[in-house]
Amino acid sequence: MTLERNNSRLRLFLLGGCIGILAFLCIFGLSSLDLANVSFAEGGFVEKDIQQHYAGWLFFRESSWQFPLGVADNMNYPDGVSIAFTDSIPLFGVLFKLFSAWLPDPCQYFGWFSLWCYFMMGGYSLLLLNLFLEKVSVCTLGTVLFVCSPILVERTLHHTSLAAQFFIIYAFYCYFRSDQEKRLYLPWWNILILSIHPYFVPMAYAITLALVIRYGQNTGRWLQGFGGLTGCLAGTVAVGWLFGLFYTPSTGGSLLLYGYFGLNLNALWNPTSIGETDPLGYTLWSRFLPVQNQVGGNYDAFAYLGLGVLIVLPIALIWAIKEYKTSFRFVVRHLALFVCLFLLCVFAVSNVVTANGATLFRIPLPQKIQELASIFRASGRMFWPAYYLLFLWAVVTMARVRFRRWMPAAAVGLLCLVQLVDISPALAGRHTQLAQYQEQFPTALTSDFWDQAAGQYDHLFTLDSDKGDLLHLALYAAENQMTTNDAFPARYDAANLMVSREETLNGLLDRIYDPDTLYLTTSEGLFLRIAHYMKDEAYCAKVGENQYVIAPGFQGKVSDAQEYSADWPITIEPLTDGQWDGGVLDEDDCTILLSNCYLVQQLLEGADAILADGVEYPILKVEEVKRHWLWVTLDIEDARVLKNVVLEAAP
């Protein structure tokens, strides 16, 4: 009997998996399953995150084997970093690297990973529904709702690793199956979470904790339950260690942003997420409902339920109130689960509570709590378990319509139809957008210099922390078998990177350099300080918008570059922060920021005034700050008129 039941579950799982595969192919087509098709990854499908994932894989593929397994020594060079921090899905990265010699070049695996996620999502969604619904036809229709959920489609081939939402569905399946059979079914797939994406750890383990508590209440076997939970968690940590998640100190990239990416209170009916084709750059997810306002990073907490589910949930609530005794017993029986999901929802909303375009209130948090919470700074994602429980509730509610034998299937089918029609603009938009990617893709590295320099250097070294073009630079370095110190991974050793940059900068100022390294900065001031000393040792030029290179031994003349010379135009440093507005001191509006370099020193030497657009502005004071900057106070009402204006010495 047990074997027959297991075979039945396997058949149901495979049926659901096929539904998931069909959904993926209908929405995204076949192009991403071509291993050699890297255009969508290089071009940044939806937005730039996929470029980070792909660059991490390229570096990992070319790096020597390390231990832990997921570490690439040519990223964050020379220290190395795990591809877990480029969201390159370490599990698939290691598997594909094992067979790298037989794979095409270039190669990507993100399409196949996504297909696997849809297969697993479909399989476990159908099994979960079958715990509540007997008819396979009803479960099959309900599965369509899960594999086409907006939050799943939104992340696919975009934040690729976050498409592994089957971890949540699988945890729910184990929970309800354990409760129904009074046996312990731990979600052992949890062990692989850290080889895919760490954000699923609190979500899956919150449900697993509730499972163990419920199992203890049912059987009294608390030790067995918590022992299994401990073993499962230990396996998860071990896999994370194996793939290098704890290899790099998380001192960089982890800004205190908890609260910025929180869940807006309108998220369930706000049909918009970042990145698509409308004029504001957002995806439109509903054919019928209007877009609502958001605040800050609420876009990452996208959680639109879809019109079908939104229509059913009030009906489900009325039904639950009508049968309040049964509903109350259900809530009490699963109180641990609801408490865990409630806490996840509170974390998702965060301490910065927003509704529509307003911040309602902000709860101050101690520094340590803020740092701890910022480990999962995109907090809005923690709503996903509650999101899928609402999906389950909606399907089960519609399946209770039983005036005729065919009514449950018809009701769930109607729910799916309304849902799919509503979100069809986004589904069609994703399909069309992916199909548009060709061999050519947009890049910020447009100068002829990059083609001429390809293959001439072993290392790419960025001298500052401006992240404007780092993903394009990372792709360039990876495709040309160069190492990089770029801070493009989500986490890196910021302290070591800062020391390395300072030492390298001081070396360049003393004409000490590595002939196999291409040096780059996005700061004109920093470039001018170095170029005066390195002009005889290297090609020093502006090769694009805010791209300045120091290229030792570079052979060739770049026609579209601006090479360093004595008549280089001097302008204000375009620094904007809490103190400066585009290089003008907010405090007095008459102090400008200039680079403390040879050309500026020559400009100011013996000068009593600065000439700009034919107007003389007397110099009141020149102050050297941190040896990198000069604060120049002028006799001027508002120095903002000097932005982007060439400065000269008054005659």
Domain limit, last residue, from 218, 248, 278: 248
The answer to whether 132 touches 396, Cβ cutoff 8 Å, is yes
Strands 81-82 and 459-462, by their bridges, are unpaired
DSSP H/E element including 317: helix 307-322
27-37 mean pLDDT: 95
Q: Express each pLDDT in 564-585 by its tens digit.
A: 998 899 999 888 887 888 889 9
Which is more confidently placed, 258 or 7? 258
Give the pLDDT confidence score for residue 280 in this predicted structure.
Answer: 47
Count the helix, strand and coil residues of the chain and give each as a percent rounded to the nearest 5: 50, 10, 35
Confidence band of 1 (pLDDT split at 50, 70, 90): very low
Please indicate, yes or no, whether residues 511 and 626 belong to a single structural domain of this protein: no
| 29 found inside a domain | yes
Please indicate, yes or no, whether residues 322 and 397 belong to a single structural domain of this protein: yes
Please indicate, yes or no, whether residues 416 and 363 belong to a single structural domain of this protein: yes
Q: Express each pLDDT in 203-217 by its tens digit.
A: 999 999 999 999 999
| 57 found inside a domain | no
- The Cα 318–Cα 322 span in angstroms is 6
Give the pLDDT confidence score for residue 440 in this predicted structure.
Answer: 54
- The Cα 511–Cα 67 span in angstroms is 36
Which is more confidently placed, 403 or 292? 292
Domain limit, last residue, from 435, 459, 479: 435
Please indicate, yes or no, whether residues 353 and 226 belong to a single structural domain of this protein: no
Q: Express each pLDDT in 594-635 by its tens digit.
A: 988 899 988 888 889 999 888 999 999 998 877 688 999 999
Domain limit, last residue, from 229, 248, 267: 248
| 574 found inside a domain | no
| 442 found inside a domain | no
pLDDT at 359 > cutoff 60 = yes
| 78 found inside a domain | no
- Count of domains forming the chain: 4
Please indicate, yes or no, whether residues 368 and 419 belong to a single structural domain of this protein: yes
When mean pLDDT is compared across 230-244, 361-375, 433-447, 559-573, the lowest value belongs to: 433-447
Please indicate, yes or no, whether residues 422 and 545 belong to a single structural domain of this protein: no
pLDDT at 486 > cutoff 50 = yes
Structural domain for 195, as ranges: 171-248
Q: Express each pLDDT in 54-92 by its tens digit.
A: 999 999 999 999 899 999 999 888 888 999 999 999 999
Q: Any idea which residue has 């229709």 for tokens?
A: 141
- The Cα 144–Cα 440 span in angstroms is 35
Q: How far apart are the first and last CA of the chain?
A: 100
Please indicate, yes or no, whether residues 333 and 227 belong to a single structural domain of this protein: no
The answer to whether 575 touches 466, Cβ cutoff 8 Å, is no
Q: Express each pLDDT in 434-459 by its tens digit.
A: 888 765 566 778 899 999 999 999 99
Q: Specify the length of the chain in residues.
A: 651
Please indicate, yes or no, whether residues 223 and 263 belong to a single structural domain of this protein: no
| 46 found inside a domain | no
Give the pLDDT confidence score for residue 100 in this predicted structure.
Answer: 94
Please indicate, yes or no, whether residues 158 and 260 belong to a single structural domain of this protein: yes
DSSP H/E element including 347: helix 335-349
Q: What's CA 218's distance to the chain center, in Å?
A: 40
| 6 found inside a domain | yes
Confidence band of 405 (pLDDT split at 50, 70, 90): confident
Please indicate, yes or no, whether residues 465 and 547 belong to a single structural domain of this protein: yes
SS3 166: helix
Please indicate, yes or no, whether residues 155 and 300 belong to a single structural domain of this protein: yes
SS3 101: helix
| 100 found inside a domain | no
Please indicate, yes or no, whether residues 282 and 427 belong to a single structural domain of this protein: yes
Which is more confidently placed, 200 or 275? 200
